[in-house]
Structures are given as C-alpha cells and as structure tokens.
Structure 1
C-alpha cells in the first residue's frame, strides 16, 4: 500500500491511488464546465505520481511514525515533477501533433507547479524553468514511480485512451492565441489546485461533499425578489415619477436577462436602484442559462458590507452569501509554497488554516477588485484556486470605472476570456461608464449592450444636484474651515471629500472645536468600525441635524448616504460624479449644490491617476463654463463622461498594460505575446543555437511575482476593536477546518491593511503580536483609536485607498 496522507487525529492512511483518482474525479467536474473535463482530470491523475517512489514513502512514514529518526527536511522530496515529466516525454516528441504538444505543456506545467506557482516557459534570464523540471532535473526513482503508477492506479491502455480524449477536447477548445493559452493553463491549474486541496480537506475532516448545484436557491431567490418588488409597488410613493422610472429600468433588466451571455453595461444613474436591478437581471439570467453563481465585484472594501446587507435583507438569506475582502492569513514569503497540503505526513494547524481559505463555491459572492484580479494574475495558489469557480457565473462590476489604470489591459483580457471561453455573463454597472472598448487591449463589449433605454433622458430625469465650480482660487485647510464655519450651518449636513488622508485628518482636527459635530472616516479603520460610524452618520442625516463629515474617496462608490451639500476636491470627473451621488441622493430635496474646490495642500506626486484626472477635469470645467450647451448643460451626463475617459486613457496609454520595471516589459507581454514578438525566445535561440522547442513562451512565474493591484503589498492586521480580540482566541483554539473558515470570514471585519513601512514601524514599537507561526498579526490594545483607527500618533498616513 502506497501512502498519500496520514490523518492527524487517528493516523488513518489515505492510499495514494485513492487520492489520485479522487482528485482526478473532482478536477474532471471542474474542467467539464468549459469542455475540458479530461484535460483537467489528467492533471489530477498525475499530480502526485512522484509519491510512488521509495524515497517519498520512506520519508512520510518516518515523519509520522518515527519522528525521532533522521529524515529528509520538509519539501526536500520532489514528488511533483514526475507526473509532468511522464506527460511531456509521452506527448512532446517529433512525431507528436501540435495539440498533443500543447496538452503536455499546459498540463505538465500545472502538475509541476501544484506546490508553487506556474513556471516560466522562458524566463528573463533566458532559461526555461519548465524544461529544467520536465527534462533536466534528476529524479532518481522516476522509472520506479511510473511503473508503480501503472500497476496501482491505471493501466497503460486506459491511460492512452484518456489522453486521446483530452487531446480531442483541447483541439475543439483552443484557438492557439497566446492570450487564450495563458488563461487555459491557469484554468487547468486552478482545477488541479482546488481538487487537490478539497480532497485533502475532505480526508482530514472525514467527510465528502456533494457537488454544488445552486439552481434551486436561485429559483427561490428570484421568487423572493419579485415578491418584494411587487410589494414596493403597492406603496403610495410607487406612483411618484422617479419611482416609476426606477420600476421601468428594473423591468428592462428583467427582459434583457433573456439575451445570451455577453459583456453588457448597466448605466443606471445614482439613486436609480442599481443594486436590486442588477440582482434582478442576474437571478433571471441564472435561471434562464443555468449559471452557477453570482459574483459582485466592488472597488472598495467599504461598500461590501452595505451591498451584501441589502441583498441579504431582500433575499432573507445569510448562509449562502459570501463576503470575501482580504486574506487575513499571510503566507511566509521565505517559505516554499507547500500548496496548502501536507508534505510531512501530518496536516498542521498552519496547513489547516490554508485549507480553510474559501474557494468561491458560494452561490452569491461579494469581493473586491483586488481579489478578483488576483485570481487571474497574482502569485499564490489561494488566488488561483478560485479561478475555475468564476466560470459559468454572472459577474457584476459595481462602479467599474474604478479599475486601477495600470490593470486596464489585464482586466479587459480576463473579461474577454470569461465571455468567450468560460460561459460568463458580465455586467458593467456605473453611472459613469469608462471607455474600456477604446483602448489597445480593448474590452469586447456586445453591440447594443446598454440595458437602460434612452439613457440621456433618464440621466436628466434623475438630476439631483448642481455642480458649482469654486476652483478659481485654490483653498487651504484654514480657508476651508472658515468657509465651513460660515456656511455649513445653513447648508445642513455637509460632506467634504479630499484626495489624501493627511489633509483629511488635518481638516478634521481643525474642525473639531467648531460649532458643528464633525465625523471622520478612514481606511485605517476596520470594516466593523466604519460600519458603526456610518450608522451614526445615517442617524444624524435622518434627524436632519447639521454636521460635517470629512473623508477621502472611500465614501464615493456606492455608500448609501445622502447629504444636503458636498464639497469635493478637484479630481477625475468620475470621482466628482460619484461624490455628487452622495448629495440629495434620493431626491428628498430640491436641487442641491456640489462644490468643486482646488485644494492647495494636497500632495499628489505619488497619485498620478488623480493628478492626471484633475488636469482633464479642470479643462472640461473651463470649457463647460464657456459653452455649457456642448455638454447639454450638465457635466454629469454621459457626453462629458465619455470625453473625460477618452482623454484619460489617451494620456495614460503607456500605463494601461502594467509595466514591470524590473524586467522592462508590460505584463501583457510577459503573459500573452507571440513567440516572434518575445525577445526572451530570440535570446534563448541564440544562446542554445536551436529553435525554441516549446509552443508556449509565457513568463508566468515572473509575471505573478511582480503583480500587485496596489503599488505596495499590504498585510492584513487584526485590530482590537470590540469583537476583534476574541477572534484571535477562537482561531488559536479551533481545530476543525470548517470552524477556522467561519472565524476567518469574521476576521475580515476586524482587520486593517497596512503597508510594509507601517507594519515594520509598529513592530519596532512593539505594537504587533504574531500568531500561528507568523501567519497572522494582531495589533495590541492602545494602538487603535476610536477617531482614527490604526493610530500611529499622526504619522505614516496611507495616501492610497484600498481596493
């Protein structure tokens, strides 16, 4: 009997043949969703072939049953290269067809990488790490492992037939483009990673799980939503013109859901009922086309809780709605990625924490743009694991204009793959639609893909505010304070949005001693803290009490608050429009004012996107002041917004494809270039003196190492705000993986993301406690304040807003 795993609690053995076949079966289920059942299954069948060696069997028995004996160190026994080598040797010879060779390159890379990240086919140092693993690396007991595999798991004839079917699947699927090849490789890798982790978790917990089928839930949710909407129509206010318009747009979403999968836009104006209208589209479309999940992607963590709460209330559902913010459990960057699976025979607490990470198998998911992009491009198997579950989904992007500029090309390519190859429907929701279809790596939106009919007329009907240009004379914080003291009492509730956290905090300090109550919101506060602050603010708004709220742009995208006046520091026109959406949001008053100012004390040198947007908006404001008719008398209508984004993407053209300075190449080139366009291939051929032997040439590992959505990697730190302290204790005591999963989801509400310099400074000041072998950080009592969140005595303000 050959061993794959040994369970900690009772030392029960999982036989290797069982593990391989069970992972194969799970991978087949995942791959079948896009027509690659046997391609994915092949990766599952071969991934741990190297465990058939005497070396590994000796190692695992010693580690578990004789820990006192001298043994190999964890990770020393390579069991992941053998399966990749077998496939490459079999399918990558001169007589093999291009489809066989492509199959071997895609699947072998997934196999050899399942304890790390996908390997480079060719790297910046003009080597092929992939070829080194499948051809050159010394595997002393390779033949022994292969022989035992065919004796114990599958016979040679059945294996050959299986490969033939996999080749046929790939032949029907592939278009041979480098872009598609990257995503197909990533998809097969995702199927393998999730199948392997899921089977390991099932063995550890001693229970298998059935295949998820959310169609019954979607039927139930749809009926509940329609019942709620029918109830709303019985209320007297349903006859108000604005509510009738909301109803019309909701019904347009219902009808549009009958169209086939594609990339569509939903440009409902602020206050038009976008959340419920998009849900109505999604549930109807899911029923109509058998979609497996609905994924909401929002720009900021600040609005996940609000949107999820609204949908939970409507659907009367909690268990099946997942909020996925950040990764509370950190990987040790100095440690080889163990693939979240045991290698020393016993599954440790650290490995259980990794296994507990969610794989996005919930029917309704709320996540951030950072987490969404990480699924496709970031390093770490915890990200890749979720990829296959995005297929057959409806993906709704709330405030899609907030796609980070450097990621625009990567975002567009990912969505194009989801539409063309992964059976997804994509909804781009915002009142300020960006022109993503007009850039180099263009988004392949469907023609006539706008759901809202007569959009300009609808936007005019929803006019709530007047934009007042006050940029002629730049303002300091002192001037702002004087202006607020003179007018805010008359204006009523006033929201001030500035571009950097430093000036926000300084303004808050200066306003605190004034005649009106002052609130401060910051991304240095954990989600639970911000939520409580927003509840206080909403109470003040409902009571019609004059007060001032000072914050950054975190409040702009989707936060459901309605002030009587908004003051916005000059930025991109989309940001001004989103700020305007927090003023007179529900039309409860006559038209109110949104003042645009030029704040002279903001340092935007590190915020290029805001700086460029500010310049374009300034020019559009000047033209509007001279010829308002050119923009139909309203800066917030689609015409002005289209002009703004067209100019913005032109100015930022060289920044749209994620330039990696360390290797002087765009990320799109590293992942998706043709061989003749790849300088690494040319150098390799000159160095070796022969033609590059592979069909694929992407530098997948290099790209993953350099990819991060925000400019600096951040670390999630649990903070001692109310329930936050208790969560750490629960995580330390929990043993079952399901219990760990629940606590990790709670922990997202009580964590704050910190830049490296901030984390290091707090460590030096002895403010950080590390748990679980350094995988989790906790902020000590006294370092978190009610006013500012993570409090470093006014130092180290983060200027970037987290996505």
Structure 2
C-alpha cells in the first residue's frame, strides 16, 4: 500500500505526523488549548492521505499510464477528510474544530475554498463515489500499515466502521451547514482565520517536505541555527566610517535603538528615521536583541523576516546582510539567511556536520519557498500573500510566521485601502501566534498607534538641513514649458522624477531640444530591461551623468545622490521619498522642487495617483515658499493624519468580513469579498511580457530557453527554467497590451530579436510603444 511511487503509505503518514508535530513544537501559540491543538494537528497528519488506501488509487500510483477509471475515482483527499471529521467526533472534538480539520485535509492538494460551499457539495453522487472507494480498501493490509505507522490501536480500520462513518457524515451534513451559517453570522474574530491558516500550513509544509526532501535525502529539520545577538555590533566595529556630523547622528540613533528596553508584552514597534540614517542595521540589531529575549523567556527561537516593497531594495539589503555575515566570518549558509522572491535563484547551500553542500534542485525549491532559514529577506508580495491568501503554495509557509519578528521596511508603500484589514490581522497574529512587528520608514504613516517608537524621532529630523523643498504648484506647466524654464547651475547634478513613462520620454526629448548635450543625460524607466537599467543606475551613482530623467522606479530605497531633484506632483510621502535621493550624505545644500505637469487635458499625476492623496498634498503645500528638512516630520504627520480621516475603509471591511466567515474563494458580495481577491499591487491595465534581445548574452539566454521548451519531461523543463529564470528576467519588460506597436509572440512571450531590435527598441528610451514606420 503506497502513498507515492515505491514509498509505503505507513512511512509517509508517520513522516508527516512527525514533521507537523515537530513544526508545532517549535512554536508557542495561543490558538487553542495545547492538548486539543496537538491532538487535532496529529490526527490531521495521520488522516490526510488515508484515502489513498483504496484500490483505485493504488492501481493509479503503481501504474499511472494504465489506469482506466475516471479521475475522481482515484482521488483521496475528500475521503480522508470525511473519515477524519467523523473520527474526531468520536474523540469528543466539537463541530468547529472538526470542520476546520475537514477543510484542511480536503483542500491539502489545492487552494482553500469557502467552508460552507464545501458542505453544500456533499450530495448523493459524492456519497456513491466515496462508498465505492471505501469498498475497494484491503482492510487487513490497511491495519498492517497503520500498525507500522504506530497508529494500529488508535483507529478503527474496518469496512463496517468506515461505511458507518460515511453514512453518519452525510446524515450530519445538513446540520453542519446550519452550524456554519449560524457561526458566520455570529463570529467577529480573526482568530479562526489564523487557526485555519496555521493548521493548513503545518499539514502542507510537512506533507511536501516529507515527500520532496525526507524521502529523497538525509535532512534534519530539527537542527536550527543560532545567529549571534552582537552580529551587527561586531560588523560596525570593523568599519572605519568618517566622523561626519551625519555619521555621528546615525551612531546616536543606533545607540538609542540599542538602549531601548524590551518588554515582550509589547508586540509592535516603529523606527521612523530620515533617509540615509542607517535604518537597515539599526532595525536588524533590534530584531536580534528581541530574538534573544524571546528565546530566553519563552523558549522558542523566532525567525526574523525582513520585508521590503521592491526587488531593487531587496538586492541592496541582501548585499548588506551578506557583508555583515562575511565580516563575522560566516560563509554563505542559507539555513542562516536567504533572500526569497519570485526571481530568486533556486540554490540552497548549507553547512552540516562541518561539511558544506548544495542540496538538489527539488529540495532547494522546497526549503527556500518554505522559508527554512533563520533570517529571511523577502518582498511585500511574498509576505502579505502568505497572510491574505487561499493559495496552497503561498500558505505553506504561514506557520513559520508564528513567534517570528517581522520587519516591514518602507511601510508607507502598503496600500492604504488595506490598512484596517492588515492592522486587525496583525493584532490577531500577535495575540494568537506570538508575532512581533517592527515598522521602518522615513515617512511612517503611524497606522499602528500602539507601536512603541525606538527613537525620539524629532531629535533626528529637526537638526537636518540637507535639503529644502520648494513647491511650485500654483500653476500647471506643459513638458515643453518646464524644459524651457529650467536654469542650470555649473557643477551640480540633477534628477527629474516624472509620473509616466511617456511624460519622461517627452521631457528627455524637450531637454535635447533646449540644447542639453545627450552625453550628459541618462534615461530610466521600466521599459528598459533590468540588466541595462541597473547599469544606468550604477553609472548615475558613480557620477557618470550630470542629469538623470526617470520615472518613480528610482524613488524609494535606491542609493543615488543628486544636488537638485525635481519631482512631478505626487502624494507627499512619494515627494519625501524623492527628497531622499538629494544630498543624502549632507555634503552640501540640496534642493527639491515640486512641479505640476500637464498634457493640456489633465495632470500627469492624475493618471497614477488617487485624487484624495493629491488633494491633501496640494492643500498642505499650498502657499508655502519652502519647507526645510527639519519640518518634514511635522508635514508628513499632518498628511497621514488627514489621509486616515478621509480615506475609505470599505475594501478592508469587506475583506475582513470574508476572512471572518472563512470565505476563501468565491464571488464578491455587497458585504464581503473572498480572501482570494486580495491584491497588494493594483494592476494598471493588462500587460504582456516582452523579451528584449539586447546583447549576445540575451541571444544565448533565449536559445537556452528554446532548448528547454523542447524537452519532453515537464519536470525537467521546470527545473531547467528555474535555473535560467534569474538571467532570463534581466531582459524582460512589461508593456501595456493596448500599445500601438506590439511585438510578435514567440513561445507565449513577446519577443524582440536582435534583427528587429531597432524596430521595437530605442537604445536610449527603451521600448518603442508607437511605431515610427518603416522606410522602404
């Protein structure tokens, strides 16, 4: 009796039970009374694949190519879930926990669905299918397997019992549906939502890890690693930073963070410091101090999860971490720290028993995507879609959030339409699974008023005089008018941040028409492939260009420095982030100018940002000749207070209703939306990906991509492409579907080859969204 090819069902069930119990034992949670939680988790693991014992599945797993029956006949999750629901009733478990266990097991190979809808599907046709499966079990072999798994005496492995359980479940199904409807009307807590995600995550992580790692290689999940609490302190001691006034202020902030007392009853903290004030090292150091205290007082080893909004900032932070560990004499070890995002390399290197080795591809993928590390650097999308999701792949790592320390850097980038829902869920996670949160920003929205500040914020904003902000927003200007009125100072560098790609292109052309030498100016937008974009950013950082014209991609977290920054009108937090690209190191006086650019129909800002945030920004800046950096904190505080008062919580409230009724998937309703509809990043129209064959390396990459597509084995294709994906993505851009000038589609992706590069791609401005016509 097998669970997987050539692998005994008893071995798999025992392995999953041991892993899920181990994962649970690492945690200190309040989700339920410990004995109940242990018991429910253990029986979920035991029963999750029990349905594989019937002959139809056994025929399929041993000879998939010769299986003749309908696909539903070889299924196993529903039978496993039904048997578990009745078994738990005999164990004295109440309806709520039985239904959670039923949902977790039924969906463990798919995505979570509406729990009420799951019970509505329990009709006579379904019962007949399950009865055929029950009657096709070899119960003597099953009893032997359960004995091997160590559960021989705890269950009842007879056909008569299982048929009776089947009848009992379908008889009870109507009353269970009524229970759910009544419960949905009464419940106003997010604790059940967290309970479902936690149990689901424990099962699917244990299941995938047992099948994909334990079955195939020697690996110990019980060996956690220590991260020295003084890791950052030792790194700082090795540095020889100049004793400038700004560095002295950075050190003062770090020392204040180091002295902040830690009370484990306080779960929310914030670090609000001006741009360039060392938030990365300070927040990491505080997290290590907090981790040590939690381990000492609670006996659990928290993971540290460092999340950021943009891939470019993640790369910067990952490089800082790599340097911190390297200075401490720690070689690359992904059990200690790893970076995870959708383009991350699938490579997992570790050191066990004094030997370094790379695990194989399938195991590496599972370990990385399951966040099997002590310190994880990841994106907002990965983090928030681990908490607001119905997707199996996303939820697998949810249990790793328990007792974790979650750092949310550039917190202002979280969409305000979700503030209420996120605040409520974070509070539930702090209460139920012991999470701790640190919000970090130069423009902190303070949407967690209970968060303890790690520093006296005013003491760091007030002394700064690196930049002065000049609002020029009384009258709008066209691109051409803006270029004509520019006055250039000898020896100064300039950054222009515009709101749309087309307006940035138009301004670049306008500058050339005004006589600017094209060798002095560089252009940046997302229509330039990432490889070339990074080259240009590094060139700008090293002072190779006097003028940079860019879209918002350069705004937050990108470490560049200019004397003068011009920003087309945007919400105030975006303007302040743009100001962070000006005179970052305080070597001279910087200027930030805000202008209102128009295409003679409407403001470019109105194509990108909502009217409320723009209106608040213009109201706060109107009538001001200038704003010194020391006033930024007061200004941004007023902005977020006004935004909180004026913004709508409607979407958050409907999402919360979906979460509180365990409505994981389905149609939108007036009062609720399913959890599956959560989108951290709002789409700005349908787009297609385009591969730009920019150079010889790109041509080699695309040839390798075509070779991979010709492979017959889909698993080998997936493995080979995963190894190529990081290089492949360096040449991929996204363009709107509705552009005038669309490239040919090759292998499901837009493709611009070297031969047609000039037709579709401008070497300065990137993708040509409009055809310029061919001359014959």
Same fold (TM > 0.5): yes
1:649 matched residue in structure 2: 644
Local SS of the residue matching 1:122 = helix
**After the TM superposition, which of the residue ranges 732-741 and 549-558 deviates more from structure 2?**
732-741
1:53 matched residue in structure 2: 54
2:675 is the counterpart of 1:703: yes
2:195 matched residue in structure 1: 184
Instruction: Give the number of equivalent residue pairs.
Output: 684
Alignment partners' CA distance in 1, 2:568 and 2:740: 32
Indicate the RMSD between aligned Cα atoms, in angstroms.
4.0
Write out aligned runs for 1:184-583 (5 A).
184-202=195-213, 206-211=216-221, 213-216=223-226, 218-219=227-228, 222-232=229-239, 237-238=242-243, 240-256=244-260, 258-260=262-264, 262-290=267-295, 291-316=301-326, 318-320=332-334, 321-326=337-342, 358-437=369-448, 445-446=450-451, 449-453=452-456, 455-484=457-486, 486-487=487-488, 489-490=489-490, 492-512=492-512, 514-516=515-517, 517-540=520-543, 547-583=546-582
Alignment partners' CA distance in 2, 1:755 and 1:748: 17
1:105 matched residue in structure 2: 99
Alignment partners' CA distance in 2, 1:189 and 1:58: 28
**How far apart are residue 476 of structure 1 and its match?**
1.3
Alignment partners' CA distance in 1, 2:476 and 2:46: 66
1:338 matched residue in structure 2: none
1:158 matched residue in structure 2: 154
Write out aligned runs for 1:67-86 (5 A).
67=65, 69=66, 71-72=68-69, 77-86=74-83
Write out aligned runs for 1:86-101 (5 A).
86-91=83-88, 100-101=94-95
**Structure 1 pair 21–106 and aligned structure 2 pair: CA distance change class (3 A):** same
**How far apart are residue 143 of structure 1 and its match?**
5.8
8 A Cα contact 1:568 1:596, kept in partner: yes
Alignment partners' CA distance in 2, 1:428 and 1:157: 51
**How far apart are residue 737 of structure 1 and its match?**
11
**Structure 1 pair 270–793 and aligned structure 2 pair: CA distance change class (3 A):** same
**How far apart are residue 761 of structure 1 and its match?**
8.5
**How far apart are residue 185 of structure 1 and its match?**
0.4
Alignment partners' CA distance in 2, 1:777 and 1:293: 40
1:766 matched residue in structure 2: 744
Alignment partners' CA distance in 1, 2:492 and 2:636: 29
Deviations 1:193-239, CA, capped at 9 Å, x for gaps: 222222221267x20321265543x11xx54532231233x65x33x
Alignment partners' CA distance in 1, 2:574 and 2:613: 9
2:24 is the counterpart of 1:31: yes
8 A Cα contact 1:323 1:366, kept in partner: yes
Unmatched 5+ stretches in structure 2 = 30-36, 157-185, 296-300, 346-359, 772-776
**Structure 1 pair 297–155 and aligned structure 2 pair: CA distance change class (3 A):** closer
8 A Cα contact 1:214 1:292, kept in partner: no
1:750 matched residue in structure 2: 730
TM-score (norm 2): 0.78
Unmatched 5+ stretches in structure 1 = 7-12, 161-174, 330-348, 439-444, 659-665, 684-697, 771-775, 796-803
Deviations 1:649-700, CA, capped at 9 Å, x for gaps: 3322245517xxxxxxx2211111599xxx99x99xxxxxxxxxxxxxx999
2:133 matched residue in structure 1: 141
**After the TM superposition, which of the residue ranges 497-506 and 779-788 deviates more from structure 2?**
779-788
8 A Cα contact 2:570 2:605, kept in partner: no
Local SS of the residue matching 1:653 = coil
**How far apart are residue 465 of structure 1 and its match?**
0.7
**How far apart are residue 361 of structure 1 and its match?**
1.6
Local SS of the residue matching 1:158 = coil
2:165 matched residue in structure 1: none
**Structure 1 pair 491–671 and aligned structure 2 pair: CA distance change class (3 A):** farther
Alignment partners' CA distance in 2, 1:44 and 1:779: 50
8 A Cα contact 2:471 2:624, kept in partner: no
8 A Cα contact 2:461 2:630, kept in partner: no
Local SS of the residue matching 2:445 = coil
8 A Cα contact 1:406 1:657, kept in partner: yes
Higher relative contact order (CA 8 A, sep 6+): 1
Alignment partners' CA distance in 1, 2:205 and 2:439: 28
8 A Cα contact 1:401 1:434, kept in partner: yes
8 A Cα contact 1:4 1:51, kept in partner: yes
1:441 matched residue in structure 2: none
TM-score (norm 1): 0.76
Alignment partners' CA distance in 1, 2:73 and 2:496: 57
**How far apart are residue 288 of structure 1 and its match?**
3.1
Alignment partners' CA distance in 1, 2:454 and 2:471: 32
